[in-house]
Amino acid sequence: MSAKHRARATAKGGKTVVKAIINHPMETGLRKDKKTGKKIPANYIQELIVKHNDKEVLVANWGPAISKNPLIHFTFKGGSPGDKIVMSWNDSTGKKDSLTTIVK
C-alpha cells in the first residue's frame, strides 16, 4: 500500500516496546465530500494483528472511531534484539496490508 507506514521496536529489561504509525484514511462513512456533497465511503481498519517471531502478541478489533493514520504504542513481555515484529491488518473495503520491523 504505502511506504509511509513506520514502526520501531526496542527491547529492554525483558520487555519490548512497539510504536507504529499506519498510513490509512480511516473514513467513517459519515462525512461528505465538500465538492460533491456525496458521502465518502467507509474505509477503516477492522482488525490488526501483531506477531513477535510468528506468535501473536496483540489482536485489536477497530472501528470507524479510530483516527486517520493511527499511532499504536504497546509493550509485551519478551523479545530480543534481532527478533521480527510483523503487524498486519485488513480494512472495511477488503484490503490487507502489513508492516515489519526488527527489534533493536
- Residue 2: pLDDT above 50? no
- Residue 1: pLDDT above 60? no
Per-residue pLDDT reduced to its tens digit, 36-48: 999 999 999 999 9
Which of 40, 38, 46, 57 has its CA nearest to residue 22? 46
pTM summary value: 0.88
Q: Which residue ranges make up each domain of the chain?
A: 6-31+39-102
CATH topology of domain 6-31+39-102: Immunoglobulin-like (2.60.40)
